[in-house]
Amino acid sequence: MIAIIDYGVGNLFSLASSLSSLGFDAVVTGDPAVIRKADRLILPGVGAFGDAADKLRETGLDGLIRDEVKKGKELLGICLGMQLLFEKSSEYGTHRGLGLLKGEVVPLEGMIDPKLKIPHIGWNALSYVKPDCRLFRAIREGDFVYFVHSFHAVGCGDSLAATAEYGIPVTAVVAKDNVFGCQFHPEKSGKVGLAILSAFAGGVAK
């Protein structure tokens, strides 16, 4: 069973639907007992980093997620959920993240050509940094995925697995040991996105 962690931010309908359409047993939950029982975890999220980080702390889910990851459970962060994996973010002040990956989240504004629009919205192609990353098992370099974001992770070190060109190479996928993250929305990226979700969830009983 895959637990989609519900901590009160964002709409989880499409994510849950996409996993069930692939035949996986996915549960949207904020219940620590269910999260402990799950084979894999997905941390979704939209909105502001600070609010989301606060909610994770208030619900005590931050500690639980760190514990489960420490025990070896696989975790996939999506969009803001991916940004939360890092040490900190400078979105409207400085906020602490889960610190599961090295790096920090900074605004695209000021880093990219001022003619480029922010947020970075739309379909963009993946360039591999780690071609053998498990998430890429059933897709090809250059495949398109759907992004909606104004901040991205920098200083990711050896977790950086793929980028997308938007004035600069924007961090698109990170992967290190049992921690994975996608800046884009695999649940909104058509067949390519489903293949990425399936590659993450693969191994879990259908």
Partner 1 sequence: MITKRIIPCLDVRNGRVVKGVNFEGVSDVSSPVELGKYYSDSGADELVFYDITASFEGRRLFTDILREVASQIFIPLTVGGGINSVDDFDRVLKCGADKVSVNSGAIKRPELIREAATRYGDQCVVLSVDVKRVGDEFRVFAKGGREDTGMEAIGWIKRGVSLGAGEIVVNSIDTDGVKHGFDLPLLERVLDAVRVPVIASGGAGGIGDFVDLFKTLPEIDAGLAASIFHFGEVTIPDLKRTLKENGINVRL
Per CB under 8 A, residues contacting partner 1 are: 11, 13-14, 17-18, 20-21, 46-47, 117-125, 144, 146-148, 165-166, 187-190, 193-194
Phi, psi of 181 (to 5 degrees): -155, 140
Cβ–Cβ under 8 Å, residues 44 and 5? yes
Is 86 or 151 the residue whose CB approaches partner 1 more closely? Answer: 151
Per-position DSSP letters for 31-73, written without gaps between them: -HHHHHH-SEEEE---S-HHHHHHHHHHTTHHHHHHHHHHTT-
Is 60 or 119 the residue whose CB approaches partner 1 more closely? Answer: 119
Is 11 or 72 the residue whose CB approaches partner 1 more closely? Answer: 11
Residue 129 has a CB neighbour count (10 Å cut-off) of: 19
Residues with a catalytic annotation lie at 79, 185, 187
> Closest separation between CB of residue 197 and partner 1, Å?
9
Instruction: Give the relative orientation of helices 61-70 and 49-58 as an angle to the nearest 10 degrees.
Output: 80
> Closest separation between CB of residue 15 and partner 1, Å?
10
> Closest separation between CB of residue 193 and partner 1, Å?
6
